[in-house]
Every structure is written in C-alpha cells, then in structure tokens.
Structure 1
C-alpha cells in the first residue's frame, strides 16, 4: 500500500529503515500515555527494530508506516481476530506529536479502513480508547466509527483505573443479514 495522505505525508509499508524515525517520534511520554503499557518507554531504536521485524513477519499486510519523504513519523495497523471473530479487526495508530491536529491520522484511519474492508474482507473494525484520549475519540468519530460502549474502569495503566471506550465501524456495503 502506498497512499498519499497530504503533500508531505504518505501511508506505506513499514521498512527496516523506519526504525530511527519511529524511535525519534515514538519516544514521547505524550504518545506513550495513550498507548498500552506494552508500548516501550523510552522507545529506543532497538524497540523500533524489533517492532518492524515483528510486523514484517506477522502483520505485513496489516501494519503500515505514516511517513514523510524523510522518515516514519508514526504507524497504523489492524490486528485480525480469531475464531468466530475472524472477520473483525482491532485498529490502532499513533503519530508524532508535531503532526497532531493536521488531519493526517483521520485520512490514515479512513484509508486503512477502506483497505481492510475491500482488500482483506474485514466486516468490523474496532478500537479501544482510554477515557482521556479525546483526540483519538474525535478521529474515530470523524471516520464513521460509533461508540458501542464504555467498559467502566476496565483499563489499569500505571496503577490507575480508567474507562475503556469501544468504537467500531462496519463494512455495511455487503454485510450479510442472517436470521
């Protein structure tokens, strides 16, 4: 996948050379606070290399770099679920703080959603968002995701409990109705 999001930013496959950009932009407590605790702090080049290797081995068709022509500035992807949930996938994303509020992630989420629906046969994309991550909540709503529910105090992060907001978007173009 190679999609131009703005004049300067594209959505493309992850490259091994993206490690330095991911480490540079991901090593930010304002990004980490919105991620799962598995998101490393500090986010080093070794962490980025390990993540890229994992993505290339296991998620090559569902994990992408958000990049300028110079470097990766974030990433986005989806994880297909298993068994009876095999047509559902969890979407996740982050972008460098210096690019917040420019509409880039909104375009990336829409592009990845269309790709997941049309090319990968996904019927439902969902996202779990910690209660205070208003920016991601707004992006999801702009992209047609609906709030499905709030799981009260379902997230324990850094020893504190937070509500988990669950958003989802369906591919309703050919969604079968089974009675």
Structure 2
C-alpha cells in the first residue's frame, strides 16, 4: 500500500530499508518527550530494524511510515481495542523535527481517519496526549477530534506527573454489526 498525501510525501507500508530514516528522524529528544516510554531513545538503527520486523510480522494493516522520496521520516498507526471496544482504536504518530509545522501530519492523520472509518469499519478513534504537547493537540483539533476529557496527573514521565488529554473523533455512519 502506498498513499500520496501531497508535496512528494506518502504513507506506505514499512520496508526493511526504512531503518536508517526512522533512526535518523526518530532519534531526537524533542520527539521522545512526547511519546510513551517504550519509544526508543536513543533510536538506533538496530532498534528500528527490530521495529520494522515486528510491524511487518504483526501490524502491517494498522501501522505505516510517512516517507518522502528519500527516506522514512515518521510513523502513524492505530491500536484496535479489544472486546466490547473492538470498533475503537487509539491513534499515535510522530514525524521528524525538520518536517514540523508544514501541515504534513494533519494530512497524514486525515488520511488515517478515512482509512479507519471507510476501510476498516471503525466507529471511534481516540488519542491521549500529554498536556504540554500542544502541536499534537492542534493537529487532532484540525482533523476534527474533540477533547473528551482530562485525566489529571495520569502520566508519569521524566520524573514528573502530567495531565493526559483525551481526544476522539466518531464515525457518524452506521457500522454493520458482525
């Protein structure tokens, strides 16, 4: 799968050759600070290779790279929730700092919403964002997500507690029951 999102950028499946781009763009404390602690920091090529193999083996329909003609510059993906929440998914994303502020992530999230609702038949997509991650909050808002709630001091990262902002968007179309 490869989906153009404008200006020479695409969303596509992970390739084995993406490790150097993911490592180069992801090995940045300004990215890691906004991610869960499982996000590698430092983000080595070896860790990127392991991640690519995991995604290709287990999550190739739900996790994608954002790339230009030269390399992978970021990622976007969802985690479908289990049991009674099976029509809901959590979205996550990151992009290399040189690409911040140009609307690229807004285009990627917009594509992912369409993919989740129209191709995967999901009803709800949500994101939890750390209180200080204003750029991600703005991306979600531009894409139609609404703030559903704030879990006060629910995140512990870098020896401090932070509020967790929960955003969501709901598919208003009827979803056929399986």
Question: TM-score normalised by the shorter chain: which range applies?
Answer: over 0.9
**2:13–2:64 CA contact under 8 A, matched in 1:** yes
Please, what is the CA RMSD of the aligned residues?
1.0
Q: Distance in 2 between matches of 1:175 and 1:58?
A: 25
Q: How many residues align?
A: 176
Q: Distance in 1 between matches of 2:129 and 2:53?
A: 26
Q: CA deviation at 1:63?
A: 0.5
Structure 2 residues not aligned, in runs of 5+? none
Q: Distance in 2 between matches of 1:16 and 1:113?
A: 26
Q: CA deviation at 1:173?
A: 1.9
Q: CA deviation at 1:5?
A: 1.4
Partner of 2:16: 16
SS of 1:5's partner is strand
Partner of 2:46: 46
Question: 1:101-116 alignment to 2 at 5 Å?
Answer: 101-116=101-116
Moved more, 128-137 or 112-121: 112-121
SS of 1:125's partner is strand
Q: CA deviation at 1:175?
A: 5.2
Q: CA deviation at 1:174?
A: 1.9
Q: CA deviation at 1:50?
A: 1.1
Q: Distance in 2 between matches of 1:170 and 1:3?
A: 23
Q: TM-score, normalised by structure 2?
A: 0.96
**2:32–2:41 CA contact under 8 A, matched in 1:** yes
Partner of 2:97: 97
Q: Distance in 2 between matches of 1:165 and 1:116?
A: 21
Partner of 2:74: 74
